[in-house]
Amino acid sequence: MKKILFVATRNPFSGRYSGDVIRSLKIISFLKKKYNLDIVCLKKNGDLKTKNRKILFFKDSNFFLKIFYCLVSLLKFEPIQFGLFYSREMKEYLKENAYQYDCLFFYHIRSSQYLPKNFTGKTIIEIGDLYSENYLQTFNYLNILNPLKYIYLLESILVKKTETKIFSNFDKVTLFSKNEVNKIYSKIKGKIHQIDECVDIVKNKYKFSKDNFRILFVGNLDYLPNFLACKDFIKNDLPLLKKKIPQIKFSIIGNVNKLKKFLLLGRPEVEVLGLKKDISKYVKNSICGLANLKIATGVQVKVLTYMSYGLPVICSKRVSENFGSSVLSFKNNNELHKAIYELKSNKIKSNKFSQKSLELSKSLSWKKISLKYLKLISS
C-alpha cells in the first residue's frame, strides 16, 4: 500500500465552512480508505482537536510573525500569502521526513512552499484555480485611489511566477476548470489534470411560484469579489428591481464579519444571514441563485450549491463560461434584470433551468469525481 503525506496550510478538521477546507477534508476522507495516509497542516487556536496520530498539527504564527514572514516572502520575490501561511517547524518536518513517503499531496498553491528540494517520490498539488488571473482582475476592478489595487497587482505577478514554478517542479497539478486547463501551454499539459468541483447531495427544494420574491447569494463575504458583487447589486440593481417586484428580498448567506455586514445592510430589502449549512428554507421562495461576480476565475462553488437544490441560476458572463447553457448569463444590468423578471413570471423557463441545475449537479457528485484521485495517484 502506498504511503502518502497530505500537506495543507489550513486545518481540514477545523469545522470551518470554507470551500478549500471542505474540499481538503473530502480528499483526505477518500484517500485514507485506499492508502496509508498521514496529514500535516497548520492549526489556529480554537480549531477542533483530534487525537489521531496520523495527523500532525503545527501551530499557526501570531500576527507579528506573519508580518515578518510576509516581508521575507517579498524579499524572496514570493507571494505575500506564503508569509501568511508559513511555519518554520512545518518546513523542517517535511525536509527531514518526506523520504518516508511514496507520494506528497499538496493542497492549494501556498502549500507549494513546503516542497522539499531533495524529494524523489511522486509530487501532486491541487491548485484548483489560476489565482494570478483572479488577482489581476481584482487589480483592474479596484479604484486607482484604493491602496489594495497595487497589492493585488504585486500579488498577481508573484503568484504567476509561483504557478510557473509549480508547473515545472511538480509531477501532477490539478485544476477545476476545463477552460483554465486549456490556457496552460501545450508543453506542460501532460502534467495538468482537470478534476471538477463537486456536490455532496442533490435535493430539489425549488418550486416555481409567481409569489417567489427572494434573490439568493451564497458565498464567503471575506472574499473580496463576493463582497464587491453584493455591494454592486444592492447599489445598482436592487432599487430598480424593487419597482417591479415590491416584495423583493436580497438574501446573502455565508461567512461575514461585523464591518462588512454593516456596510451591506443599507436597505430594508437586504438581509445578511451569516452561515447556513442548509439553505433549503431560503430556496423554497427564491426566484434564482445569483453569481454576478465581475472578478472570477475557475468554477464558482456557489453556482453548484444553487444547482444542488434545483434552483435556477443567473451568472455574469465571466462566471457562466464554466457552466454553458445550464445557467442564464448576462452582460449588463438590463440583461440581468430581464433574466430575473423572466424567472419570476415564466414557469416553463424557470422549471427548464431548474431541471438543468439538477442534471448538471448530479453529474458532478463527489462519488463520481473522487475516483479521479485514484487515477491521479496510481498513474
Segment 28-52 shows an average pLDDT of 84
pLDDT at 181: 87
pLDDT at 358: 97
User: What is the percentage of the chain residues whose pLDDT exceeds 70?
Assistant: 97
Q: Residue 12: is its pLDDT beyond 80?
A: yes
Centroid of chain to Cα 97? 30
Q: Residue 111: is its pLDDT beyond 90?
A: yes
Each residue's pLDDT tens digit, 198-227: 999 999 999 999 999 999 999 999 999 999
Each residue's pLDDT tens digit, 65-78: 999 999 999 999 99
User: Three-state DSSP class for 46?
Assistant: coil
> 36-50, 120-134, 212-226: lowest mean pLDDT where?
36-50
Record the cell numbers describing residue 80, joined without a space.
Answer: 505575500
| Architecture per CATH, 3-198+367-378 | 3-Layer(aba) Sandwich (3.40)
pLDDT at 357: 97
Each residue's pLDDT tens digit, 245-276: 999 999 999 999 999 999 999 899 999 999 99
Cβ contact 99:117 at 8 Å: no
User: Which is more confidently placed, 49 or 352?
Assistant: 352
Could you check whether 3-198+367-378 and 214-363 share the same CATH topology? yes
Q: Residue 48: is its pLDDT beyond 80?
A: no
Q: Residue 186: is its pLDDT beyond 70?
A: no
Local confidence band at 1 (pLDDT 50, 70, 90 cut-offs): low
DSSP β-bridge partners for residue 330: 316
DSSP 8-state class, residue 6? E
330, containing H or E segment: strand 328-330
Q: Residue 160: is its pLDDT beyond 90?
A: yes
Segment 353-363 shows an average pLDDT of 96
Local confidence band at 117 (pLDDT 50, 70, 90 cut-offs): very high
pLDDT at 277: 84
pLDDT at 315: 98
Scanning the structure block, which residue is given the C-alpha cell 489595487?
149
Beta strands in 14-139 (DSSP E): 36-43, 55-59, 103-107, 122-128
Q: Residue 311: is its pLDDT beyond 80?
A: yes
Centroid of chain to Cα 185? 24
Q: Where are the domains of the chain?
A: 3-198+367-378, 214-363
User: Which is more confidently placed, 185 or 339?
Assistant: 339
Q: Residue 157: is its pLDDT beyond 80?
A: yes
Local confidence band at 51 (pLDDT 50, 70, 90 cut-offs): low
Q: Residue 50: is its pLDDT beyond 90?
A: no
What does the alpha-carbon distance between residue 293 and residue 316 come to, in Å, rounded to a whole number? 6
Superfamily of domain 214-363: Glycogen Phosphorylase B; (3.40.50.2000)
Cβ contact 11:42 at 8 Å: yes
Each residue's pLDDT tens digit, 340-352: 999 999 999 999 9
Mean pLDDT of the chain: 93
Each residue's pLDDT tens digit, 134-155: 999 999 999 999 999 999 999 9
Cβ contact 214:285 at 8 Å: yes
Segment 310-335 shows an average pLDDT of 96
C-alpha triplet 244, 252, 267: angle, nearest 5°: 55
Local confidence band at 82 (pLDDT 50, 70, 90 cut-offs): very high
